[in-house]
A = this chain, B = another copy of it.
Amino acid sequence: MTTAGTAHETTTRPGPAAARQHSLREHNLELVARAVFEVPEPLSRAGVATATGLARATVSTLVDQLVAAGLVRELPAVTGGRAGRPAVPLVPAPRTVVGLGLEVNVDYLGARVLDLTGDVVAERVVPGSFHDSDPTAVLARLGALARELSDEVTASGMTVAGARLALPGLVDPRAGTLQVAPNLGWSSIEPVPLLGLDLDVQVANEAKLAALAELAGGSDVAAPDSFVFVSGDVGIGAAIVVDRRLFLGERGWNGEIGHVVVDPAGPRCSCGAFGCLEQYAGKEAMMRAAGLPADAPLADLVARLRADDADLPAGRALGSALADFVNLIDIGTIVLGGAYTELLPWLRADVEAALTERVLAAPFVDLQVRAAQAGPHAALTGGAREVLARVLADPSAWV
């Protein structure tokens, strides 16, 4: 069973002041919801009481409210407990309250709806080319796409709790602003009103949301507690996860590995500097190095690599920048997402060689380079999950 997860894009834990803002009932409701969503095996009401330490009668009332609100679903009763009384397993409710993940990236627009079980209920990904694009036109187009999806799931009786808009650049979620997204050619805009959606929408960095999707775990491999997540598309972003929380630096404007120096004598980057990693290991640079058009689909590059008909020099550059990253922050597990997931077989040897050569701690640490598990366009999943995590953090709003 997957759950909507509880990792928020913040390092702040709710403190006593936050607790005081909630009434006791609201607090208990959250405890009960967390127990149902976070314990891997479905709990009965009695199990929730044990897990939360709340009285059984209290739990029963709160569970009834969560069921009525459409957040929790009761499975058919099973017998076999010691008391002989049939227990009703409680699970996250499918297709009731849903979250909407949105994304503008350099070569696609995307929208994805997830329900509380973690299932993708609906999605659209539209390829395109959004270099130096007009934010008003692009965001209006994404807004239309989002409305289409939202209307579709609403017509099926679901409620869209809100949306996250992933952008490949520096964002300020509190101010709702995008500072700069070099590859889009966007700077200093307020993207949310341009979507024209009648929903609570917040902006977030693409790599951070993708890392949260990764943290929630793939189908078969559990995510490590600490890792560097690198999202390789036309631009290259990263996120730092320490003990299952995002490390955000002072403003969340960290992880800009795409602009780490690979060679000061290298080509000029969209950011204005020279020799940035993106100029060697960004998707378009990889295509060009393989003799393909910059906007060719990733499958074309993979086909050429499979046929041993192309070179992927990106691995050396990526390895150099990752070695810098590991030397500076000492996180030993690197998860490669975006286009890198599929390209890993052809990147791995060069990346590992660079890490071995350049990371001072390499002889003493089991440095690991892994493929991301969260699937394509993971920021859409991470965004939808973030919306649902907020629902679970305050279920009383839905009761």
Contact = CB atoms under 8 A, between A and B. Distances in A.
A357 B273 contact: yes
A327 B252 CA distance: 11
A3 interface: no
A328 B252 CA distance: 10
A355 to B, nearest CB: 11
A262 B358 CA distance: 12
B331 A261 contact: no
Copies of this chain, whole number? 2
Main secondary structure of the interface of A (DSSP, over half): loop
A263 to B, nearest CB: 6
Interface in A352-377: 357-361, 363-365
A38 interface: no
Contacts of A325: 328
Given A247-B247, A329-B328, A365-B253, A180 B261 contact: no
Interface residues of A, number: 48
Nearest to A325: B328
A82 interface: no
Contact of A254 (B180, B273, B328): B328
Contacts of A251: 330, 361, 365
13 contacts: A170-B360, A179-B364, A226-B250, A250-B330, A250-B331, A251-B361, A252-B330, A253-B365, A256-B328, A256-B360, A259-B323, A271-B358, A325-B328
The 9 closest A-B pairs by CB, nearest first: A249-B330, A254-B330, A256-B327, A253-B361, A253-B330, A273-B358, A260-B324, A179-B364, A256-B360
